[in-house]
């Protein structure tokens, strides 16, 4: 079997150095294919120059390639069985025109809860869409989705070291109103524990509105981390706190797999049933606190604080064993490629 991995059409390097979503998933798929013994071809121009060997590279994009052009013949000569791509590609007419001429299957994972697909983008067989949670399955029901956990990590984050007993709390993600890290800071304050917030600030206005709690003495804004630094920050934490806004729909949820693979338990705040947190976590790996949508921030943080206390009782070694099994890139690739595990 031969699989093509199409990198994301943006200024991000592939895989990204720090923040990124779809690109991190694509890198995990490429690693999973390689670990499965499948030949992976990286298709697209935004590669890093420090990637390990073993990957063929073809510096073109399907959406810029007309059928019967020299570049298309280069693609066709690969004899691909599968293309793995970002979720927007199967709904782009120029990309689809090139793909359909190749005769291979395509698979993608829905990492945006609001993207509108073309009505005929997926048939559930040759073109397949995968979703993380029950609520995402319902949102994309018309496209015949299949449910699967999303495995995501950056370069240098593929194989975390053995788990250790951690210290402070950690929160990781983009810092904005959708992700609502101020709720984690409120919960940490109720427990008298330190919190490290890791990630890029994408909404300075949000930070300004919650400056009192986000600049409190028990909170450290670490900034964006990647590679070994990110893994060590997650691994050395006692518990990772997951939060989001009341009306936010989490689509890809990289943080669960990243954290559990490091052996750090998760305390997650959700606002309804059927979310990624409930699918990602189990009794061995984390605790989910469901707040009522009418709860104010203080009430929600109190529920989250109780979940943090419960999560502290989980054993890092057991968390990591479960995390590495459930968020295994080879197993994830086999599911996308419809290879029996």
- Residues 183 and 318 placed together within one structural domain of the fold: yes
Query: pLDDT digits over 116-153, tens only?
Result: 999 999 999 999 999 999 999 999 999 999 999 999 99
Phi, psi of 296, deg, nearest 5: -80, 175
Nearest residue to 201 via CA among 234, 171, 178, 224: 224
* pLDDT score at 341: 59
* Residue 162 placed within a domain: no
Q: Return all residues near 305 (Cβ < 8 A) that are at least 6 apart.
A: 187, 190, 191
pLDDT of residue 270 exceeding 80: yes
- Across residues 26-40, what is the average pLDDT? 95
319 in Cβ contact with 19 (< 8 Å): no
- Residues 124 and 206 placed together within one structural domain of the fold: no
What is the domain extent for residue 90? 2-148
Query: pLDDT digits over 238-252, tens only?
Result: 999 999 999 999 998
**Helices within the chain (DSSP H only):** 22-36, 70-76, 93-102, 134-139, 181-191, 204-209, 211-214, 227-235, 254-261, 276-280, 297-311, 316-326, 329-336
- Across residues 265-287, what is the average pLDDT? 97
- Residues 64 and 173 placed together within one structural domain of the fold: no
- Residues 122 and 223 placed together within one structural domain of the fold: no
pLDDT of residue 297 exceeding 90: yes
Count up the domains in the chain and report the number.
Answer: 2
% of the chain at pLDDT higher than 90:
83
| Residue 107 β-bridge partners | 84, 128
Find the angle CA(176)-CA(179)-CA(181) to the nearest 5 degrees. 85
- Across residues 246-261, what is the average pLDDT? 95
pLDDT of residue 18 exceeding 80: no
- Residues 111 and 236 placed together within one structural domain of the fold: no
- Residues 67 and 210 placed together within one structural domain of the fold: no
The sign of the dihedral angle between the CA atoms of 180, 178, 239, 297 is positive
- Residues 193 and 139 placed together within one structural domain of the fold: no
Query: pLDDT digits over 35-75, tens only?
Result: 999 999 999 887 888 888 888 899 888 888 888 888 888 99
DSSP structural state of residue 252: S
Q: Which domain CATH number covers 64?
A: 3.40.50.2000
Phi, psi of 294, deg, nearest 5: -90, -5
- Residues 303 and 268 placed together within one structural domain of the fold: yes
- Across residues 214-233, what is the average pLDDT? 96
Distance CA 53, CA 324 (A): 24
- Residues 141 and 199 placed together within one structural domain of the fold: no
* Alpha-carbon distance values, 285 to 6, 22, 240, 260, 314 (Å): 32, 24, 11, 7, 7
Query: pLDDT digits over 141-193, tens only?
Result: 999 999 999 999 999 999 999 999 999 999 999 999 999 999 999 999 999 99
Q: For residue 121, what are its two tokens?
A: 């983008």
């Amino acid at each position: 079997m031969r699989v093509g991995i199409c990198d994301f059409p943006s200024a991000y390097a592939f895989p990204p150095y720090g923040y990124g979503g779809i690109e991190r998933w694509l890198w995990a798929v490429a690693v999973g294919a390689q670990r499965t013994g499948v030949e992976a071809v990286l298709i697209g121009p935004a590669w890093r120059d420090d990637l390990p060997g073993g990957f063929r590279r073809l510096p073109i994009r399907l959406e810029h390639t007309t059928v019967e052009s020299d570049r298309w013949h280069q693609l066709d000569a690969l004899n691909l069985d599968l293309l793995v791509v970002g979720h927007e590609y199967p709904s782009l007419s120029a990309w689809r025109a090139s793909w359909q001429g190749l005769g291979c299957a395509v698979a993608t994972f829905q990492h945006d809860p609001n993207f509108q697909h073309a009505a005929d983008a997926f048939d559930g067989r040759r073109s397949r869409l995968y979703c993380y949670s029950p609520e995402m399955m319902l949102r994309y029901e018309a496209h015949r989705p299949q449910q699967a956990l999303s495995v995501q990590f950056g370069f240098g984050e593929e194989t975390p070291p053995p788990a250790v007993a951690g210290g402070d709390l950690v929160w990781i993600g983009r810092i904005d109103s959708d992700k609502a890290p101020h709720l984690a800071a409120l919960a940490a304050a109720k427990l008298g524990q330190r919190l490290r917030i890791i990630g890029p600030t994408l909404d300075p206005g949000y930070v300004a509105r919650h400056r009192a709690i986000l600049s409190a003495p028990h909170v450290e804004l670490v900034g964006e981390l990647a590679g070994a630094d990110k893994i060590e920050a997650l691994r050395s934490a006692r518990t990772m706190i997951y939060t989001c806004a009341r009306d936010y729909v989490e689509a890809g949820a990289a943080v669960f797999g990243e954290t559990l693979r490091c052996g750090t338990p998760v305390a997650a705040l959700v606002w309804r049933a059927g979310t990624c947190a409930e699918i990602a976590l189990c009794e061995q790996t984390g605790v989910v606190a469901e707040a009522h949508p009418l709860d104010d921030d203080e009430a929600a943080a109190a529920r989250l604080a109780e979940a943090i206390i419960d999560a502290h009782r989980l054993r890092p070694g057991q968390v990591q064993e479960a995390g590495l099994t459930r968020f295994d890139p080879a197993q994830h690739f086999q599911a996308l490629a419809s290879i029996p595990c």
